[in-house]
Amino acid sequence: MNKDFKSGFVSLIGRPNVGKSTLMNTLVGEKIAIVSNKPQTTRNRVQAVLTTDEFQAVFLDTPGIHRAKSKLDGYMQKSVQTALTEIDVILYLCEPTTKLLEEDRGVLSGIQTKAPIVLVVNKTDKLAAGGDLPIIEAYRGIYGFSEIIPISAKNAENTDKLVDIIKKYLPAGVRYFEDDYLTDCPERQIIAELVREKALLLLRDEIPHGIATVAERVTEYPQSLTIEVTIYCEKRSHKGIIIGKNGATLKKIGTLAREDAQRLLGVKINLQTWVKVKEGWRDDDFLLRNMGYSS
Ligand X SMILES: Nc1nc2c(ncn2[C@@H]2O[C@H](COP(=O)(O)OP(=O)(O)OP(=O)(O)O)[C@@H](O)[C@H]2O)c(=O)[nH]1
The pattern of x and - marking residues 86 through 125 that bind ligand X according to CB under 6 A reads: ------------------------------------xx-x
Q: Are 33 and 27 in contact (CB under 8 A)?
A: no
Where in 43-82 is the site for ligand X (CB under 6 A)?
63-64
What one-letter code names the amino acid at 276? K
Q: Is 17 in the site for ligand X (CB under 6 A)?
A: yes
Q: Which is nearer to Mg ion, 15 or 258 (CB)?
A: 15
Q: Which of 250, 15, 214, 1 is nearest to 123 (CA)?
A: 15
**249 φ, ψ to 5°?**
-70, -45
45 binds, among ligand X, Mg ion, none (CB under 5 to 8 A by kind): none
Q: Are 256 and 264 in contact (CB under 8 A)?
A: no
d(CA 215, CA 288): 14
Where in 12-41 is the site for Mg ion (CB under 5 A)?
20-21, 41
Where in 121-160 is the site for ligand X (CB under 6 A)?
122-123, 125-126, 152-154
How far apart are CB 83 and ligand X at their closest, in Å?
12
Q: Is 19 in the site for ligand X (CB under 6 A)?
A: yes
The pattern of x and - marking residues 20 through 39 that bind ligand X according to CB under 6 A reads: xxx------------xxx-x
d(CA 108, CA 174): 30
Q: Which is nearer to Mg ion, 78 or 168 (CB)?
A: 78
Q: Is 42 in the site for Mg ion (CB under 5 A)?
A: yes
| Burial annotation 231-268 (CB, 10 A radius, 16+ → b, else e) | bbbbeeebbebbbeeeeebbeebbebbbebbbebeeee
Q: What is the distance, to the nearest Å, from the Cα of residue 248 to the centroid of all Cα atoms in its chain?
A: 28
Q: Which residues of this protein are in contact with ligand X, per CB under 6 A?
A: 16-22, 35-37, 39-42, 63-64, 122-123, 125-126, 152-154
Q: Which residues of this protein are in contact with Mg ion, per CB under 5 A?
A: 20-21, 41-42
